[in-house]
Structure 1
Amino acid sequence: MSQSLATAGPVAELALTGDLARPARLTVPGLLTWRQHRADVSFECATSGIQRHRFTGPLLHDVLTAAGPGFHPTRRKDRLRFLIAVDGADGHRALLSWAEIDPDFGRAPVLLAVTIDGTSLDLVGPQLVLPQDRCGARHISGINAIRVDGGYRLRA
Structure 2
Amino acid sequence: MLTLHTAPLLRLTPGGEPVPDHAVVVGADRIEAVGPLAELNGAYAGVRVRRWPGTLGPGLLSDGPLPAAPTPRERVYALLRRGVTAVLAEHLADPALRAAVDRSDLLVLPAAVPPTLLQGGRADLAVLDADGACLVTVVAGRIAHRRA
Q: Structure 1 length normalisation: TM-score?
A: 0.25
Larger RCO, structures 1/2 (Cα 8 Å, 6+ apart): 1
TM-score using structure 2 length: 0.26
